[in-house]
Structure 1
Amino acid sequence: MRRSSLLAVVACAFGMAPWAYAQPERLAVDPAHTSVVFSISHMELSFCYGMFKSVGGDVMFDRQDPSACQFQFVVNVGSIDTAQPKRDQHLLSADFFDAEQFPQITFVSKAVKLVQDANGRPVYQVAGDMTLHGVTREMTLPVVLVGDKTNPQSGQTQVGFLCQTTIKRSDFGMSGSLGPIGDAVGVTVSFEATPPQPQQPQ
């Protein structure tokens, strides 16, 4: 399917005319409506779940030209929460994240392609660089466009995305306790992006 046809299908799926939006928009990740959740195997008996509470980022959203879209994401490692404070402190130590030396996880896109999943949903295949534990690797993330709306109260754009993927922590030099603790980490990121709020004068 040609890109113009695919764009028309996506536009109709969201109840809008293909020409309804003409200009790309620079949006900011909304931390209040963003969740970064992970899961990892423990002793092949259960899965431990956790999340990062402090995240941010920017999105350049171009409805006319998906290849012009950009995604940047930042996770503050120190905000990890597995509901067990002692475990969180261990995860922040040099045995795992080494948060003092590597305080952030980042992802910066380099190329974006729009496709459709098996259910006909628009999916952005986002290729970019992920930096974790001081190691940068190129990877491609499937970012589903969940919704694209105008807030009836503010009149501002609200765009929602969902990314579900799996990474190997050993690829990023995090090899502590491999075996008892799994290597594969399931990651789910659900986030909204809205126009950045103007900064208040000092």
Structure 2
Amino acid sequence: MNFLNRLKTLVLVAALCIMPALGADTFKIDTSHSSIMFAAKHFGAAWNYGRFNDFEGTVVFDEANLAATKVDVKIVAKSIDTNNERRDKHLRSPDFFNAAQFPDITFKSSKVEVDGETMKIHGELAMLGKKQNVVVTLAKSGEGTGMDGGKLVGFHGEASFKRSDFGMNYGVGNGALSDEVKIVISIETKKV
């Protein structure tokens, strides 16, 4: 094979490698139409739910290549809201989120496993100065067109982790609050 043919082959291979990335679009989370909720069990009886009111993030998404999906989210810890002001103040304290010292909670994806239409988003969850690998099960929930004509894509997901892995140990030993925390995510994103 002469030099020119080898060069053409290399260019073709490079183009094929780049093509899946070209189909991916970046979507910004529309926080006014999205929810990030959590739940912890209280004295083994019931799951108590709360949410975060202040967050932002992006999703890079190509429906033809789900494995190329990327997620990057930042949550403001002090925006925690359980519909109980006294409890929220305690949750912002050093016993839990220590929001004054650690204002942000972040999740950044590292790889994606695809199972049909469901994505297992592996990524790094960072809070309280610690980082742990967490898997978020995420699926497209729908799509539409916004009032301004922009493309909208919705996603729904779930995850769970042990809060003690981040040093959040208050109430773990006495059974007052479960170590396991469940996360439920419902986000609407808009194409950038």
CA offset at residue 61 of structure 1? 1.1
In 2, distance between residues paired with 1:69 and 1:47? 31
Aligned residue in 1 for 2:83: 83
CA offset at residue 63 of structure 1? 2.3
Aligned residue in 2 for 1:140: 135
CA offset at residue 171 of structure 1? 1.2
Alignment of 1:15-94 (within 5 A): 23-94=23-94
Which has the greater radius of gyration?
A: 2
Q: 2:168 aligns with which of 174, 186, 198?
A: 174
Q: Does 1:184 align with 2:180?
A: yes
Q: Does 1:155 align with 2:149?
A: yes
Over residues 25-54 of structure 1, what are the superposed CA-to-partner deviations in whole Å (9 max), with x where a residue is unaligned?
Answer: 111011011111111111123332211111
CA RMSD of aligned residues (A): 1.5
Asked if the contact 2:135/2:159 (under 8 Å) is kept, the reply is no
Asked if the contact 2:27/2:190 (under 8 Å) is kept, the reply is yes
Q: Runs of 4+ in structure 1 displaced over 4 angstroms?
A: none
Over residues 134-190 of structure 1, what are the superposed CA-to-partner deviations in whole Å (9 max), with x where a residue is unaligned?
Answer: 110112211011113334x43321110011122111111100121211111111010
In 1, distance between residues paired with 2:74 and 2:60? 15
Asked if the contact 2:134/2:161 (under 8 Å) is kept, the reply is no
Q: Which has the higher helix share?
A: 2
Task: Structure 1 unaligned segments of length 5 or more: list them.
Answer: 1-21, 117-121, 197-202
**TM-score normalised to the size of structure 1?**
0.79
In 2, distance between residues paired with 1:113 and 1:194? 24
The code of the aligned residue for 1:38 comes to F
The code of the aligned residue for 2:122 comes to A
CA offset at residue 70 of structure 1? 0.7
- Give the 3-state SS of the residue equivalent to 1:163 in structure 2: strand
The code of the aligned residue for 2:189 comes to A
**TM-score normalised to the size of structure 2?**
0.82
- Call closer, same or farther: CA 1:79–1:170 in 2, change over 3 Å: same
CA offset at residue 195 of structure 1? 2.3
The code of the aligned residue for 1:189 comes to I
In 1, distance between residues paired with 2:133 and 2:46? 30
- Give the 3-state SS of the residue equivalent to 2:179 in structure 1: strand
Task: Structure 2 unaligned segments of length 5 or more: list them.
Answer: 1-21
Over residues 90-109 of structure 1, what are the superposed CA-to-partner deviations in whole Å (9 max), with x where a residue is unaligned?
Answer: 11101111111111111001
- Give the 3-state SS of the residue equivalent to 2:140 in structure 1: strand
The code of the aligned residue for 2:33 comes to H
Aligned length, in residue pairs = 169
